[in-house]
Structure 1
Amino acid sequence: MLNINSGHNKTLFQKCKPLYHYSCYVDRVKSNVRSGMTKEKAISEAVSFAIRNDFLDGYFKLQKAEVLNMSLTEFDQEAYDRHRFNEGKEVGIAEGERKNALQNARNLLCMKLGSVEQIAQATQLSVDEVLQLQEELAV
């Protein structure tokens, strides 16, 4: 699965200008909503932005009413908020798991239980990460 959100997959965006324009438009809507605009105002401003920047070779200008209508129908703030929450939750869980693995590796190293390779395998860290922890603990 490819991430087509702003700031990701720059090579893909360079090869596919319409996808880049669409991603910029969606990002503009999201940014407007985050800044406190209503859904309607956020979409209207993003469409105006797309028109000013000739996104999709003028499609936004030619089909402004249709784009506004479709965007208002498709953009669901609650679903967007749920998605953002779930993204944050996944990141938080991953960070927690990593911190736990690092702490477990530190504990095993301090207790001298297992080789670096065994500790790496047990904690799902790389051997290099365990070696780095070992060096830090030796100080």
Structure 2
Amino acid sequence: MEHYYLNRKYKDRLFRFIFSDKGNLLQLYNAINDSHYNNPDDLVITTIDDVVYMGMKNDLSFIIDDVMSLYEHQSTYSPNLPLRGLFYFSAMYRNYIEPMKQKLYTDSPLRIPFPVYLVFYNGSMEEPERKEILLSDLFIQNGKGLQPALECTALLLNINVGHNQELMEKCRILKEYAQFIHTIRSKISVGLPFQEAVETAVEDCISQNILSEILRKNKAEVIDMILTEYDENEFREFLKEDSWKKGHEAGVQDGIKTGIKTGIREIIRTFTELQLPKEQLLEKLTNSFSLSVEEAEEYIEKYSKL
């Protein structure tokens, strides 16, 4: 396994830091493609370190088996991902053909690697397991029925804990990365300050053998990366989103219960006003609301006096 190092030119991302190791990157590639490459040197790294466009760096790109893969990690969803991918691929292809650029103007086709763009998402908003995001969705539609000359497709993969479990089981290091981020969020959810939550999560994951080798060797750097890459608001936004979702689901259930009680009350009130037999009321309640006779009589006792 290669030595993990921190690029001191800029604050690195933890995801990129982990998968800059060719062994980890090959494990991830194999898991996604159901392939069985076992030599990390088969990967030709094409990551652009010295090009920054609008503050965004190319996370990881590489070529293997004539496929040029761009892997990007995001904790914030953006519909503009394909546009960023277009810029990245343009730069990578320019680098790729540089040694043979004179052939661009010949009558022989240049054979270039097949492009694949994956976005590994672990942000706070609820996203599906897999989602295609298209560059063409950003084009202004002019109503003339024209076909776009360009397309770029970003495939978003949700890597929050509980998502894409088959992929996680195939790629241990990706699963552990997701568990580590989840552990930090769990610490914050019980009230720990952000930095303390990160530091405690690191210690817990080391003891539980989650990213333990990386965390043990690079503890200070990893903590610094997390504190830089994320901010406390991002984690708290995740918790707020999660709490809203759970509260909404509970509210729906409560609403159903409230609606049932309202229906029962109105039926009892109608039967009472019309002075209809109690036996008919009991039959109506038990059949309409799946109540036992005892439950129906309790409701009658409660609502007939209102």
TM range (shorter): 0.5 to 0.7
Q: Does 1:90 align with 2:245?
A: yes
Amino acid aligned to 1:28: T
The CA deviation at 1:72 is 0.8
Deviations 1:13-65 (CA, angstroms, capped at 9, x unpaired): 43332233123322332333345543223222322333444434722234434
Which protein has the bigger helix share? 1
Question: Which residue does 2:213 correspond to in 1?
Answer: 58
**CA gap 1:84/1:54 in 2 versus in 1, 3 angstroms:** closer
Q: Verify the 8 A CA contact 1:33 1:42 in the aligned structure 2.
A: yes
Question: Which residue does 1:46 correspond to in 2?
Answer: 201
The CA deviation at 1:79 is 2.8
Question: Which residue does 2:254 correspond to in 1?
Answer: 99
Q: Verify the 8 A CA contact 1:21 1:56 in the aligned structure 2.
A: yes
Question: Which residue does 2:186 correspond to in 1?
Answer: 31
Question: Which residue does 1:124 correspond to in 2?
Answer: none
Q: Verify the 8 A CA contact 2:180 2:211 in the aligned structure 1.
A: no
Amino acid aligned to 1:22: Y
Which protein has the bigger strand share? 2
2:235 pairs with one of 80, 92, 95: 80
Which runs of no fewer than 5 residues in structure 1 stay unpaired?
113-130
**CA gap 1:108/1:30 in 2 versus in 1, 3 angstroms:** same
Q: Does 1:16 align with 2:171?
A: yes
**CA gap 1:33/1:109 in 2 versus in 1, 3 angstroms:** closer
**CA gap 1:132/1:19 in 2 versus in 1, 3 angstroms:** farther
Amino acid aligned to 1:135: S
Amino acid aligned to 1:111: I
Deviations 1:62-102 (CA, angstroms, capped at 9, x unpaired): 44343222101133222322332233233323322333234
CA distance in 2, matches of 1:83, 1:51: 24
Q: Does 1:111 align with 2:275?
A: no
**CA gap 1:57/1:96 in 2 versus in 1, 3 angstroms:** closer
**CA gap 1:30/1:90 in 2 versus in 1, 3 angstroms:** closer
**CA gap 1:76/1:137 in 2 versus in 1, 3 angstroms:** farther
What is the count of residue pairs matched by the alignment?
Answer: 119
Q: Give aligned-pair identity as a percent.
A: 19
TM-score (normalised: structure 2): 0.31
CA distance in 2, matches of 1:91, 1:36: 19
Q: Secondary structure of the equivalent of 1:100?
A: helix
Larger radius of gyration: 2
CA distance in 1, matches of 2:249, 2:187: 29
